[in-house]
């Protein structure tokens, strides 16, 4: 593989109930997914990973993140990273769609599970 490059419509679209995601990269070292959640999305409960860093870059909308003991709102341009073992979760806290770039390092199969 020489590299990965997508135009704004590229990547693999994955439809989920009430939301749609776009898989951008699946490499052994990382996987990148554009996540999209509507205003009715209840969120991802706080959890931790024992095998990868979970990071998020907010593209549009507003998220409420829990990272460790902190709870905070993150708008476009905000970045959040949860190292291995750090409890984290989020929800859409705005009135519109929440779009985020989600990167896992290394790749542990999240994109594959989205297809499931």
Q: Give this prediction's pTM.
A: 0.92
Q: For 21-33, give the DSSP string.
A: EEEEEE-SS-EEE
The string of pLDDT tens digits covering residues 84-113 is 999 999 999 999 999 999 999 999 999 999
Q: Which of 10, 41, 23, 36 is nearest to 103 (CA)?
A: 23
The string of pLDDT tens digits covering residues 20-43 is 899 999 999 999 999 999 988 889
């Amino acid at each position: 593989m020489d590299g990965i490059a997508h135009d704004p419509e590229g990547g693999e679209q994955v439809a989920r109930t009430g939301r749609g995601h776009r898989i951008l990269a699946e490499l052994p070292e990382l996987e990148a997914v554009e996540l999209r959640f509507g205003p009715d999305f209840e969120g991802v409960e706080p959890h931790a990973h024992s095998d990868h860093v979970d990071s998020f870059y907010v593209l549009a909308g507003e998220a409420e993140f829990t990272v460790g003991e902190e709870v905070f709102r993150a708008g476009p341009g905000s970045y959040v990273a949860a190292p291995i073992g750090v409890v984290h979760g989020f929800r859409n806290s705005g009135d519109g769609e929440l779009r985020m770039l989600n990167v896992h390092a290394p790749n542990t199969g999240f994109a594959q599970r989205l297809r499931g």
